[in-house]
Structure 1
Amino acid sequence: MSLPSNTHAGVSPADIQAAAQRIAGDVRRTPLLRLPAASLGLPGAELWLKLEHLQRGGSFKARGMFNRMRALPIPAAGVVVASGGNAGIAVATAARALGVRCEVFVPEISPPAKRAALAALGATVFVQGAAYAEALAACQARQAETGALPMHAYDQPEVVAGAGTLAAEIEAEAGLPDRVLVSVGGGGLIGGIAAWCAGRCRVEALEPEGSPTLHAARAAGQPVDVAVGGLAADALGARRIGDVAWPLTQRFVVASHLVPDAAIRQAQQRLWLELRLAVEPAAALGLGALMAGVVQPAAHERVALVLCGANFDPAGLGAVR
């Protein structure tokens, strides 16, 4: 595959291709499910569902964490990360696979299911603060004490490049869609996807109404702190868009949309009831945006949705039909 022309500073398609080669033996090449949009009562020609909730560790974040840990030397103190849950699980998964120590700082809003998963992977878990920012501050203080390799949930070039391998996989299998809808927390995933697509298709950002990190930054013309809350705040609860992702989104993300919690919940339940896909709320924003009419593709369009994670308690998804 020829690389897209992209000479901007930061993460490039060449970085993403190098990451794909580096982590090929560590991560899964997840399925791409293609089905008529009409089969879910939606406009557009076709939906492409990238089933990244089947990735190691239950989310796309394993890609970036393996990439950073493979690319850099790891000290005796191991690795340390602050996370709402999914990044910590990904770091712990990679650390166990590579045989290194791992400490994870999580905020109080992190679900018990994610904390249990971290403990089962052998990570030492610290609960610090009401939101991600407080957990991050505690993590940074700990890293200064121990000298562990700092792992960031979304704001490191290796992490963003690793996330971009997801888009490279889609293109290798099916070409580029007309539109990609991407859930945004701190921006690692959309930064990587935007860097790979490089303007060759529409990349659009989706955020819960209660956690408008990128949306607020675009309105202000620069990254700003926002209050976070709502249904998907445990995974999409970053207070500020990442410095690595911000210029990538400015250049290659054509629109930013907010999705109400009710639509996210309905989409999460529809994915389960219609397709038997059990995903966390953050993974349902794409379908939620289409169901609510927040995004309205043309009849001919192929629309890719990234089902980015499945680290949650599925008990509330609804009765089996």
Structure 2
Amino acid sequence: MVTRSDVEAAAKLVAGRVRQTPVLCVDGRDLGVSGELALKLELHQHTGSFKPRGAFNRLLQSPLPAAGVLAASGGNHGLAVAYAARELGVPAEIFVPVTSSPVKVERLAGLDAQVRQVGEHYAEAFAASTRRAEETGALVVHAYDQQEVVAGQGTLARELERQLDRIDTVLVAVGGGGLVGGIASWFDGAVGVVGVEPEGIPTLHAALAAGRPVDVEVGGVATDSLGARRIGDLAFEAATRTGVRSVLVPDEDVVRARRLLWSELRIAAELGGATALAALLTGAYVPRQGERVVVVVCGGNTDPSDLAPHRVR
């Protein structure tokens, strides 16, 4: 279980290591929805996603062995761990599936990490990383189901609470659940939290229906960032304890949300980063009159070349 106290302690520990990312308040009509929206632009965090919050909290709370640190990732978590390891002067070995975005794999190499591509999905990369950790004794930094990692991700919610005078609901994309678990743990039911998932990766949705974390099939456009097969135990506990809701969105609307963020606001989000907005575009989540909704744009590690419209020759 992750508590507000855990998040508060994480915030003190990672202060100066992570950025305070901006909040952009926009008229929802600019994006084809009603009301005023606030966008938490966490894609402007170090390495392009929220993940350094949890990575730094894990590394700073742990003895760092000579073998360094090790992580399995769809890409964003690996980037965060590699960045934190470099900042703290220890080596990093990162396991990613072969389906990871080439943009992310290239950036990993640029952070001096040793990159190993294994399997089609995160679960296969994770299994390989577990075997490797047993061989080397490296510190394992789990992508989403570690106390320190989830508490670190919760610092986003603590920061957000200080940036806005009122928050009614936060919409956040869900993969393995580290971010939604951290946000829910901080707000502890005082603010509505809605987990948004592509229909092809319903980890939280399936778990809530079953009453426990269960494996799901993984597929669709956002698998490189949201492609966990099962929600983390810590996230599931936080979600059920604090009343997190789950909604599903089609892939085509995730793509539409990403393009809207670019065309209307010049925000170059990755597909996982745009998933939360898709809940409003599809009506999967319909705000009440006057409700203050915050959409977390949680990642921007993408190739922006397909965002601009093709020129007619």
TM-score bin (small chain) = over 0.9
Q: Secondary structure at the match of 2:115?
A: strand
SS at the partner of 1:33?
strand
Equivalent residue, structure 1, for 2:10: 19
Partner of residue 110, structure 1: 100
TM-score normalized by structure 1? 0.95
Say whether residues 1:299 and 2:289 are aligned partners.
Answer: yes
Mark the CA change 1:209 to 1:13 in structure 2 (over 3 Å): closer, same or farther: same
1:35 aligned onto 2:41: no
Structure 2: gaps spanning 5 or more residues: none
Q: 1:198 aligned to 2:188?
A: yes
Matches within 5 A, 1:136-215: 136-215=126-205
- Runs in 1 of length 4+ with deviation above 6 angstroms? none
Asked if the contact 2:184/2:244 (under 8 Å) is kept, the reply is no
Name the amino acid aligned to 1:267. A
- Equivalent residue letter for 2:14: I
- Give 1:218 deviation, angstroms: 0.9
Whether contact under 8 Å (2:97, 2:119) holds in the other structure is: yes
Q: Are 1:101 and 2:79 matched, yes or no?
A: no
- Tell me the residue number matched to 1:79: 69
Find the aligned partners of 2:141 and 2:169 in 1 and give their Cα distance. Answer: 31
Could you tell me how far 1:175 is from its partner in structure 2? Answer: 3.6
1:65 has 2:55 as partner: yes
User: 2:27–2:37: 8 Å Cα contact kept in structure 1?
Assistant: yes
Computed over aligned residues only, the root mean square deviation of the Cα atoms, in angstroms, reads 1.2
Matched, 1:128 2:157: no
Q: 1:173: how far off?
A: 1.5
SS of the residue corresponding to residue 90 of structure 1 reads helix
TM-superposition CA deviations, 1:82-120 (whole Å, max 9, x none): 000000000001011111000000011111111101001
Identify which of 197, 208, 225 aligns with 1:218. 208
Instruction: State the 1:254 CA deviation.
Output: 3.3
* Equivalent residue number for residue 275 of structure 1: 265
Listed one character per residue, the Cα deviations across residues 255-282 of structure 1 (whole Å, up to 9, x for unaligned) are: 1111101110011000000000001001
Same amino acid, percent of matched pairs: 56
- The code of the aligned residue for 2:170 comes to V
How many angstroms does 1:174 deviate by?
Answer: 1.0
SS in 1 for 2:37: strand
- TM-score of the superposition, structure 2-length normalised? 0.97
Give the equivalent residue in structure 2 for 1:259: 249
CA contact (8 A) 1:43 1:296 kept: no
Give 1:225 deviation, angstroms. 0.6
Asked if the contact 1:204/1:253 (under 8 Å) is kept, the reply is: no
Tell me if the contact between 1:228 and 1:238 (Cα under 8 Å) persists in the aligned partners.
yes
- List runs of 5+ in structure 1 lacking aligned partners: 1-9
Following the alignment from structure 1 to structure 2, what is the Cα–Cα distance between the partners of residues 57 and 253? 31
CA contact (8 A) 1:176 1:201 kept: no
